[in-house]
Structure 1
Amino acid sequence: MKKGQVTITDLAKELNVSPSTISRALNNSPFISEERKKVIMDLAKKMNYSPNQLALSLLNKRTKILGVVVPEITSYYFSTAINGIQDKVGSSGYKLMISQSNESFEEEIRLMEAMALVRVDGFLISPSSNTTTFDHFEKIKSSGFPLVVFDRDCLGFEADKVVVDDYSGAFQAVEYLVKTGCKRIAHIGGAASLSTTQHRKMGYLDALAKNNVSIVDELIINGEDSSSESGVTCMLSLLNLEVIPDAVFCYNDAIAIGAMSVIRERGIQIPEEISLVGFDDEPYSSYFKPSLTSVWQPIYDLGLLSAKILLDNLMADNESSSYRYEVLKPELMIRESSKKLPI
């Protein structure tokens, strides 16, 4: 018996009938007797026959595959978003082709081109931290692929987008720090090119301004990336100032955890001497000592809604002339790393 994938031709040779007869039987044609259908179906099962999905996709002009490109797959944030995407598309018969750009602009382009070549039906993209131009997105759109951008906005690029209100989350966090009595509030940002970095910094600045707290340039510092190592490096710089901060609002939880390790190594008390707030509310945040105050984001819903919009586009009879811009609301989760509001 032939090794490799069994084809309709192989089944036809076994039964000495035409391939078209096999095809009609497998598709439950009324022109094939029930007795012959049973013989063919039994043989197909015995020989482990499965339909050629590529051929079917070419026939139907759909592969039923969606391309997903994220900066990293293993992080809690993006793995949770992917879970939301998967749960939404699973019931629709779609499969996911998932890749990570590793925060590389060049890799992002390469991945999208490769996915386009295998004719995925659409794209769900969270841009890399080094993506500052969007010609590759425009190329994908002009080639007829529907595309949804999620988490990180692409300012100036028109497409369906689903993001979290980073500005609101940062504003909530910093205003809370002000109300607990903090006066010298520092900010450790992420990669400067990211829309999320920019929006969180603006929320930080506006919360200080609204509450008449001085904005001090030396207290604002950006890490090279969003890692704990950046938190360590930036926090060391802040602690080497002549007057150290009494609070630090961090771009994300990873940076906050790096900052926390430095503060504790210096023997500085959290939150008595320095309050600390992160962003993302990752599961480990509540298990640190002290537990980390952080801004919770509806990450699963972010993935779920992004997938829904893409599926809606794929199922629509006509292409929409407008784009959806959905903004999900975060919430501040207060724990031990920040002072309590005065009674």
Structure 2
Amino acid sequence: MNQSTFEVTLIFSRYGSPQSLNALFFTFTLMVYILQVFSNVFLMLVIYFESSLHKPMYIFLFNLALNGLIGSSAIWPKIMENLLSDSQMGSFTACLVQVLFVNFYATSAYTTLTAMAYDRYVSICKPLQYHTIMTPGKVKTLLTVANIVPLFCASVQVYLTSRLPVCRFSIHKLFCDNLTLVNLSCVKSTLVNLHGAFVTTILVVFPFIIVLLSYAKILTVSLKASKDAQRKAFSTCSPHLITFINFSLAIFFSVIYNRINVHLPGDINILMSVHLILTPPLLNPIIYGIRTKEIRKCVSKLLWKRRDFLDMGFRSQIQPAIIHRGV
């Protein structure tokens, strides 16, 4: 077989032979994907069309929802294709592209959550200076960093992996990840390992510390405030905190899975392999929709507008008929 990485074909061995059960898994996967797309797009539209939500926190949330769409679309379509295919195969190039988007999704989501934690810190700990600190320029800078740095790091990681010679062609997972592709190589690359450690430090460990420090300061300030101020701080921080914990657990399980997946039972193996893509894009918009008062109000407002519009259309159709009968 030609060793050019652009011509190598890889086999996904985790799926097994096509069977009737695959149709059930396909249906479940399709429903999850549709729900993820609908919930994230709906949240993005609410934020886009409601001018009252054009604030830093919701702008970051818009980016988080968009990020969830990228992660979902990088994984689920290929999984569904493999579930219905007689041969679960893919090119090395396609795997590299998938790794690029998955890594960008994971690291960009984490940096966006870090920017949101900083926004909550300024809002609660420095309320009088909030509009001076969180200017439109500052928000744009934070969004740029939250997207460009992860994209650059993921691109470098994929480039380094693409340069490794491939001598194994079977992937024992549902989709591609960087560690799996690295393990397909005939050689060990110190540069790849160093880059991976660097990315983990600046895009996972460092953001995690920033979020912890932010909430430690928020907790300190809240304990000195009134009961009403404490309730307000909890209501504004709880959606972000729940989302951050959910995503941190997903990354934690993903790291564990990448290390011990060969020792896990089949069903647990599959669940842990998709946990990072399954839960955050599905739960994040639901958590913010339920826990955030302003978003609930805006959703109700949009639904009432829709109802009024339909009622007007219905009346405009029924009134001529009534007049005609009266005549």
Higher strand share: 1
TM-score band (shorter)? under 0.3
Higher relative contact order structure (alpha carbons within 8 Å, sequence separation ≥ 6): 2
TM-score by length of 2: 0.25
Larger Cα-atom Rg? 1
TM-score by length of 1: 0.25
